[in-house]
Amino acid sequence: MNPETMLETILREAQDKIREAALSAPRRIEVKAPRERLVELLAWLKQAFGLAHLGTISGVDLGESFEVLYHLSNADGTVTVRVQAPRSEPRIPSVCSVIPGAILYERELQDMFGLVVENIPDPRPLLLADDWPAGEYPLRKDWTFERPAEVIPGGK
């Protein structure tokens, strides 16, 4: 199935699950979806096109809200499903029930953006250090790092 047919099928059969869908580049389909329908949409995409391979989940800080992108690939192309979560209520559903391999990416999102992934099978921190202060999310745009002044032991 080529990407054009795939897009047509999405527009025809998954209307209720998406906001909009378009072809953004050769072999790349962009789908915007409400976060409440995300799990349903991914399950449908997996069943309809065999889109079972999740490349990664990218988070982007847009200021007022967070954008979360699910990059799904099969032999014909890549479908990027994007959902948004407002900064005041940063919650997204876990997709591990559909794609078990998403677990590490979801844990990374929680660490780096402070997004709360609901129903995640394993909510422990993944990448940040054990003594990392709570409530600090390094990939948020308002998080900046200042290098502490260098102190030479025994120096003046």
Encoded tokens for 121: 């099978």
Q: Could you give the angle at the alpha carbon of 102 between the alpha carbons of 96 and 103, nearest 5°?
A: 80
Of 15 and 144, nearer to another protein (C-beta) is 144
Check binding of 102 to another protein (CB under 8 A): yes
Check binding of 23 to another protein (CB under 8 A): no
Check binding of 121 to another protein (CB under 8 A): no
**Per residue in 46-81, is it b (16+ CB within 10 Å) or e — as a string?**
beebebbebeebebebeeebbebebbbebebbbbbb
Binding letters toward another protein, positions 51-80, x by CB under 8 A: -xxxxx-xxxx-------x-x-xxxxxx-x
Of 17 and 111, nearer to another protein (C-beta) is 111
Of the residues 25, 36, 47, 119, which one makes contact with another protein according to CB under 8 A:
25
- Shortest reach from residue 153's CB to another protein, in Å: 23
Check binding of 127 to another protein (CB under 8 A): yes
Residue pair 68/84 in contact by the 8 Å Cβ criterion = yes
Cα distance between residue 148 and residue 29, in whole Å: 44
DSSP letter string over 13-36? H-GGG-SEEEEEETTEEEEE--GG
Residues of span 78-97 touching another protein by CB under 8 A: 78, 80
Catalog residues that contact another protein under the rule CB under 8 A. Answer: 25, 27-28, 52-56, 58-61, 69, 71, 73-78, 80, 99-105, 112, 125-129, 138-139, 145
